[in-house]
Amino acid sequence: MQSGPISDELFRPSVKNKEELEHISRPNLTAFQDGWLRLSKNKGSVCSLILLILLVILALAGPHLTQFTYYGTDYNATYQAPSMLHWFGTDKFGRDQWARVWYGTRISLLIAVVAAALDLIVGVSYGAVSALFGGKVDAVMQRFIEILVGIPNLIFVILLMMLMPASVWTLILAMSISGWVNMARLVRAEILKLKNQEFVLAARVLGTSDRDIIRKHMIPNTIGVIVINTMFTIPSAIFTEAFLSFIGIGLQEPKASLGVLINSGFQVINSHVYLLLIPAAVIVLIMVCFSILGDGMRDAFDPRMRN
């Protein structure tokens, strides 16, 4: 070990390169691009997204890939097993199940996506406003939510089905009346945790409006809760539609949805099980894919889960 005074000869001046000082180690990415980059590294979420895209493509194009229509009857071809002519077989009216399954998937996805979008817009807005303003505003808004929670959603559905004809938009309206409540409560709880954080207080000091605070600061930091709840809302709405059609208060024949097809298949399960298994398999696949994709999107887009 060297002892004594340290001389200047032991030191060398560092060489500064202006280009290296201003060099950016990684490209500048938006929050969406950064989240998408992390999502693409999750193999389960990517596979689920690919399967969902394929299901959507089949729902849109599937009925047009066969010469038969979803409503066309042929009493000479009733209860035919899956074959090269009828890929998913036929039902009691000789209707082609391939066309009916994918047309029914289209209707079920439409109901679920529109209902989830309404829940997202209304629930996030309602919960954010309630939490940010607080006080009497929050108290009144939460009492309204408690009234909706106290009434089962099935009651709204039955009443609407009695007052309005059974249709796609009636089901969407029925599921949306109180479906946004859970989203609103989750968003409110998250924003109550964030409203006194330093970055929110700094935004207020700088004169940021309440609208911009909600849009630029609150909602991005609750994106994990919003995404995972939305991803679970879609399969839940599909299941609700199937349940309502199965018990006879949803869509009815000759209309096609996954619930209608499962109800028809259940009636002949002992003799023609394929009429039940195929639409049931589609529902299960949709629900599992949305569940896995929701978990992956929560991990990717939640700012608090970044490394």
Burial class (CB in 10 A: 0-12, 13-18, 19+), 87: middle
Residue 131 in domain: yes
Residue 37 in domain: yes
What pLDDT score does 58 carry? Answer: 93
> What does each of the 307 residues of the chain score in pLDDT, given as a tens digit?
555 666 666 666 666 665 555 555 566 665 566 677 777 888 888 899 999 999 999 999 988 888 888 888 888 888 888 888 888 988 888 898 999 999 999 988 998 889 888 888 898 888 888 888 888 888 898 888 888 888 877 787 778 877 887 778 888 888 888 888 888 888 888 888 877 777 777 877 877 777 787 777 777 777 777 887 888 888 888 888 888 887 777 777 778 888 888 888 888 888 888 899 999 999 999 988 988 888 888 777 665 555 5
Residue 245 in domain: yes
Query: Which of 104, 92, 98 minimizes the C-alpha distance to 68?
Result: 98
Residue 260 in domain: yes
Q: Confirm if 95 and 256 have CB atoms less than 8 A apart.
A: no
Q: Which CATH number is 190's domain given?
A: 1.10.3720.10
What pLDDT score does 282 carry? Answer: 92
What pLDDT score does 229 carry? Answer: 83
Burial class (CB in 10 A: 0-12, 13-18, 19+), 304: exposed
Residue 18 in domain: no
3-class secondary structure per residue, the chain: CCCCCCCHHHCCCCCCCHHHHCCCCCCCCCHHHHHHHHHCCCHHHHHHHHHHHHHHHHHHHHHHHCCCCCCCCCHHHCCCCCCCCCCCCECCCCCEHHHHHHHHHHHHHHHHHHHHHHHHHHHHHHHHHHHHHCHHHHHHHHHHHHHHHHCCHHHHHHHHHHHCCCCHHHHHHHHHHCCCHHHHHHHHHHHHHHCCCHHHHHHHHCCCCHHHHHHHHHHHHCHHHHHHHHHHHHHHHHHHHHHHHHCCCCCCCCCCCHHHHHHHHHHCCCCCCHHHHHHHHHHHHHHHHHHHHHHHHHHHHCHHHCC
Tokens of 103: 């047309």
- The boundaries of the domain holding residue 288 are 33-66+98-305
Q: Confirm if 73 and 55 have CB atoms less than 8 A apart.
A: no
Residue 84 in domain: no
What pLDDT score does 53 carry? Answer: 93
41-63 in b/e form (b: 16+ CB < 10 A) is: ebeebeebbebbeebeebbeebb
Residue 294 in domain: yes
286, amino acid identity: I
Tokens of 66: 């066969």
What pLDDT score does 257 carry? Answer: 85
- As for how many domains the chain has, the answer is 1
Residue 4 in domain: no
What pLDDT score does 13 carry? Answer: 67
Query: Which of 230, 240, 239 minimizes the C-alpha distance to 120?
Result: 230
Q: What is the distance between the alpha carbons of residues 109 and 62, in angstroms, rounded to a whole number?
A: 14
